[in-house]
Chains A and B, each alone.
Chain A
């Protein structure tokens, strides 16, 4: 088992796609050099992220088709899929509609359909980035077992978050790219943010009033009344498929609650959160958030207030953003980071926006970018935004969001939303 480690934008995905010969026919020479190292002549590639073309809405079909295509009978294919899914405690996925799955579940389906192929080398691009800690550990254990078994081929795993692969035993690690000094960057960003201030907009809180949320017939929260106060960064944590995204949608007014209501409270004024106006939502798969301009143009440096220009210049200086790059070009993590900043910049300038909701913004970001993002979110909370983030890396936010911002963890348990300070 090989590991490709490196920061966001260091070329890991490019290297994998060259190995898989999907995007770069000119990489044939490289394939000829590398594939014998892996003793591989056939490869199966798991692309990064969860946005991929699917040929069926049914998870069962997505997983069994490769086996059937390869010649297995329907019964054999289904038995194999069922056995493997049960092993990962994902057995319930078989009868689900792909578009109702959570981000982590979709990533798992992708990983699973890659492993279904009987090939010499499995090229997995950040395969457990969106999985919860328990599932990630289980997946790591199974991958370890597969890599040691003789019947399976070699594995090449690419990641920007080396900690997430901590449990795996690698034969060799290839580091690509370089990352500037994380400590110095964090200190400089902290001092920059301490000097700057976005237009303070008073304290904003969110009240849940006898709230019941039951998407797809499953009750997540039942008749709950709760005050989620201002001045805190809320982290919504939990296992894959527990309903974090659905709850986030409800908090932001993107999905109507089954019963009860969500109220946005600014002093004595109460209102319902309006999606796209008072509440902005950063989706799990932020495709299409940036248009066709350069990063500098997309992120609005031209007509921006001085504080936002300074923040952007800081990111340009530290090469976390390339101002001349096309908005949608670059690696998965780079585009994701730009998209988050585009939303934050817009929100901080908007007079209407009060609530910021981020659905796993730190996925596929290296520590430097994820830490900078956490610091920026802490700063926004200080500026009066009510901010909630779903994440599988709560400690990162605790460490990086600044000394003045309290971090509260929200978790779903027994049809109840519970909060505790980190």
Chain B
């Protein structure tokens, strides 16, 4: 005998071994006999015996819920039995029990005949034309809908309640008790809604799959061929997905995969802005310099060439490895520290250099006042803090930051779309694509950064006892078509 494992134990499947027509006839016969019992043509005990035999043979699934239902239905029977003075042959009792056995017949039709067998029957009917097709299709849909609702909705609600109880989530959180209560009350209803949505989706895909696919095949091919003729890439901007619910900080842009390699490639060949070169050449070889965010190390190399001792603070491993190579070329002159901002005494350095948006990144992370206060520690005689700052910020609605081959990284397209600003916080979306052999990578992420007015920066520097000198505007490769200004900060008062 074959068995089926159920949640309530193991169920014999003897009944299911019978051919489908036999099972259908058994169910129909049971239904007819039931009616005959109600009208008194057949004794009730015969039908009860047949029901027990069918249940033991696996035609009916016995669960705790069903047994509870039987108990509930039995209440009027026992009341009637007591009222009739235990007269087993009273017509009410016979008819009531007979009518209750219709449930057994319904059970035989659902448990004894599997859903795929019903669907097989109705798909055969569907092949016939006219009203048969319509009825068969509607019946299949209703059958599946009822089955999903009966099986899945109950399971989902029970599962959710049980999961919340066992994980004890919500019993501690910072929410108010009323909010928890409302959550608890709403959860079962939400499940039902979700399940019905899922049901709708399931049914619509059952029904419309063929029709929809036939409709879409034409325009889809046409669209692709038109795109190919026009020389456009088949993968359009709508494909750019990714992290769209997040807000990215300026510094996190560097965490894009292979972005540091891309930046290293682009900057390693670009010339250093003349103003920075001029400033570097004015430094004396005996000076000690702290360079924060040296990146690919172009400026660091210039400093080392002049014999200046440099401490470089860099957070990205790739750039750190490049700087380590410089360390080998100029031993003893360069030390590299990993991190964003050095946790060291700044007084030991004469000059501090922050270039290529490093200052902007730092004030976004730690605030303008904090950074200027920290930089104020550099108070040695002739000590200078050099930084570049996006003084003129005039982004277009959409702009390309870089497009083209970037060495081993592959083909890169890096662009932005500017969404506006509020209280100094600018909002934009960055799109970054790499195509390399068979791989195509894309990121589209929102970006938010705080960009104070240069006047505010200078006045805050003054409040921190730093004197500022501002250079003319500098052109360099940077975000959002902005132009940089080189700011030189020196201390008002010099410590002895």
Contacts and interface: CB of A to CB of B under 8 A. Distances in A.
B273 interface: no
Nearest to B146: A55
A298 to B, nearest CB: 6
B169 A15 contact: no
Interface stretch (A36-44, A137-145, A373-381, A383-391): A36-44
Interface in A292-309: 292-293, 297-304
A100 B166 contact: no
Given A176-B442, A300-B173, A95 B243 contact: no
A172 B440 contact: yes
B151 to A, nearest CB: 6
A31 B187 contact: no
Given A96-B5, A178-B257, A300-B174, A287 B160 contact: yes
Nearest to A14: B241
A281 B156 CA distance: 18
Contact of B152 (A53, A172, A291): A53
Contact of B175 (A276, A285, A300): A300
Nearest to A183: B317
Given A14-B241, A346-B172, A41 B256 contact: no
A69 B140 CA distance: 9
A99 to B, nearest CB: 5
B257 A68 contact: no
A216 to B, nearest CB: 5
A87 interface: no
Nearest to A330: B245
Given A216-B5, A288-B191, A300-B173, A64 B116 contact: yes
Given A30-B236, A64-B116, A298 B242 contact: no
Interface stretch (A5-13, A124-132, A189-197, A221-229): A5-13
Contacts of A267: none
A198 to B, nearest CB: 13
Interface stretch (A199-207, A232-240, A337-345, A412-420): A337-345
**Which of B5, B114, B148, B439 has the most chain A CB within a 10 Å cutoff?**
B5
Given A22-B205, A53-B195, A286-B163, A177 B175 contact: no
A293 B123 contact: no
A174 B440 contact: yes
B173 A346 contact: yes
A192 to B, nearest CB: 15
A288 B317 contact: no
A243 to B, nearest CB: 13
B445 interface: yes
Given A172-B438, A280-B166, A287 B257 contact: no
Contact of A95 (B2, B152, B234, B315): B2
Interface string B428-472: 000000000011111101000000000000000000000000000
Contacts of A286: 163, 167
A360 B337 CA distance: 39
A326 to B, nearest CB: 10
Query: What interface size band does chain A fall in?
Result: 35 or more
B180 interface: yes
B148 A73 contact: no
Interface in B9-39: 9-10, 13, 20
* Interface of chain B, main secondary structure: helix
Given A74-B120, A288-B164, A350-B168, A175 B244 contact: no
A176 B117 contact: no
Interface string B186-216: 1100110001001101100110010011101
A181 B259 CA distance: 11
Contacts of A350: 168, 171-172
Contact of B236 (A15, A33, A297): A33
Contact of A342 (B169, B236, B239, B252): B169
A345 B155 CA distance: 27
Contacts, number: 285
B174 A303 contact: yes
A54 B151 contact: yes
Interface string A70-106: 0101100100000000000000000111011000000
Given A180-B252, A181-B255, A283 B120 contact: no
A169 B168 CA distance: 43
Contacts of A313: none
Contacts of B13: 95
A175 B440 contact: yes
Given A69-B123, A179-B255, A10 B166 contact: no
B220 A177 contact: no
A277 interface: yes
A175 B179 contact: no
B125 interface: no
Given A35-B220, A54-B151, A178 B256 contact: yes
Interface in A150-198: 170-181, 183-184
A57 interface: yes
B227 interface: yes
A60 interface: yes
Contacts of B216: 28, 31-32, 35, 41
B317 A172 contact: no
Contact of B187 (A12, A175, A291): A291
Contacts of A301: 174
Contact of A299 (B173, B245, B252): B173
Contacts of B120: 68, 73-74
A289 interface: yes
Given A30-B236, A57-B6, A179-B257, A42 B167 contact: no
A30 B242 contact: no
Interface in B232-280: 234-236, 238-239, 241-248, 252, 255-257
A304 B173 CA distance: 8
B116 A65 contact: yes
A277 B168 contact: yes
Given A11-B241, A180-B255, A280-B167, A97 B117 contact: no
A283 B5 contact: no
A34 B13 CA distance: 47
Given A56-B115, A65-B115, A343-B169, A36 B243 contact: no
A343 B173 contact: no
A283 B165 CA distance: 11
Given A68-B123, A177-B242, A178-B443, A53 B199 contact: yes
A304 B172 CA distance: 9
A179 to B, nearest CB: 7
Given A176-B442, A287-B159, A293 B167 contact: no
B227 to A, nearest CB: 7
A87 B170 CA distance: 44
A171 B440 CA distance: 11
A55 B190 CA distance: 20
Interface string A105-130: 00000000000000000000000000
A275 B168 CA distance: 9
A100 B199 contact: no
A217 B167 contact: no
A10 B144 CA distance: 34
10 contacts: A32-B224, A36-B223, A68-B119, A74-B120, A95-B13, A176-B241, A283-B159, A283-B166, A291-B179, A299-B173
Counting from the closest, the 4 A-B pairs by CB-CB distance are A11-B241, A288-B160, A291-B183, A302-B174
Interface of B: 2-7, 9-10, 13, 20, 114-117, 119-120, 123, 140, 144, 147-148, 151-152, 155-156, 159-175, 179-180, 182-183, 186-187, 190-191, 195, 198-199, 201-202, 205-206, 209, 212-214, 216-217, 219-221, 223-224, 227, 234-236, 238-239, 241-248, 252, 255-257, 315-317, 438-443, 445
